[in-house]
Structure 1
Amino acid sequence: MFKKFRNAFLTGLLIFLPLGTTIFVLNFLLDMFEAPAMRFAFEMGLKEESFFFGLQTLLAVVGLLVGVLALTSLGFLSNYVLGKFFINSAERILDRVPFVSTVYRTVKQIVDTFGKENRAVFNQVVMVEYPRQGCYTIGFLTNDAEGETEAVIGRQLTTVFVPTTPNPTSGFLLFVPREEVFAMDMSLGEGMKLLISGGAVIPEYDAKKVKKKAQSSSKRSSTKSLPKASPKKTAINPPRSRTRKT
């Protein structure tokens, strides 16, 4: 029961996130009119009623409970045809409103790109040397390169998607040799937090495990980088010119 409630709440949160961000931006703009509205209310004789623990505390608790129930209900409704119809209708309406549609589309692209539907696209968090030697970046391993892309280079390649920050919906697709891809222990969610925050949110890790993996990868790369012994070639002496005795 708790698992169903949790999944429904998370689903509702993902659905509400684009709309919630849009409301947050609009609320920021409407805050400029809050002071004139309060003055108008006091002039009309409307007074704030006092409670034992304060009106603001009561409204905060009630608002939190209503928000949790609303998101959970939205998650349950998204599993039914009628709920999907209302959600799609609301999205179409928001998509036609100027400025609101821009904010809504941006946030929705982020949610759709890294939601549970497309989470299987990214296999693992990796680090690659990009865009120059000695500089590394975080990316997501997507697949093993096959076909013409691998045949032209003549090496085993892997495809790595390197998102931009803080908007990870765009990025670069890199074809990197397998031995130049460094696997990370962090989860996909932790990798996304690291990217979107611009490096401000650093996930926790097991230092001993990472150090052991780094040592093994360095040994493997050093072994592969050793030059192969070339077979000795015997020098071929040029033929001596014979002079005729006269």
Structure 2
Amino acid sequence: MANSPPITLNPPKRPLDPFRRAVLRGAAVLLPPLLTIVIFVWVFNTVITYMLVPMEQTARWALEEYTTDIQPDRVDAEPVEGQPNQFVIDDGLYVRTADERYVPLHVYEAVAKKVGRSTSKDAEVIYREYINQEYLQRQYIIPVFLGVLILVLYLLGKFLAAGIGRFIWAQFERLIVRLPLVSNVYSSVKQVTDFMLTTDTQVKATRVVAIEYPRRGIWSLAMVTGEGMMDISAAANEPVLSVLVPTSPMPFTGFTMTVRKSETVDLNITMDQAIQFIVSCGVVVPPHQSPSLMEARDRQLSADAAHPVAGPNRKPVSE
């Protein structure tokens, strides 16, 4: 009986064809800038929706409230000869609208240049369009908005740095933490924002460590934020650390834990390198922590030592 070839349960994988390799290479090149743009667009749209739009609405309300010049239907309105639908009221030129009221001629003319001449609109609609195109154009209001935002942040920071400001803010936070549902959300958000933005060394993370979480044998990156609580340290009979375990791919959220200091491993990486590692879901590894890169460097150093190359100021080894 002839020997039959052995049956393999796992046939060898076929190499990627050139088309698939090209598609994957193109996706690897395109996705990083595309995702970066998507994140910035999301942040921009969030700021526009929740900050700029309310500011525009407030400014529009104030302008409509204090600058609107709409005259009611008045019997003393005198028609202008040769100019249909134009009237003189208190020595000013007005145009009558569909709701039998009057708006200034220059307001009507400014709106007519953009949307066309029509008196079929109400006076409020015409004035709202006038305010939008004269005072609330985005190319003007966005720089003003950014300037006002930076000024408000600066003044708020200076105010909270003073004694009265800290006292008022402490009373406000004391009120917030008494609300059952709001206190949980506020505390979590405050912890993350303090960690990312504050310059206080007592709140800012000091170093990056690795801990076995969520179980032994699985290692997670954690950022040390403090020395932990004394009661927990007494219960553990050894020093403990407070750490923040960020989540991928957005390190702005995570879990706050207290772990034994002896169960942490100090990592020789910076905060920026840790954030890059977390955002990339472990793809971007610091060069000095990548085994493949270190092996390649060692091989290159060994090759250079075995076959030194003569430089411009060095003699060949054979001499």
Tell me the TM-score normalised to structure 1 length: 0.46
Computing the radius of gyration from Cα coordinates, the structure with the larger value is 2
Tell me the TM-score normalised to structure 2 length: 0.38
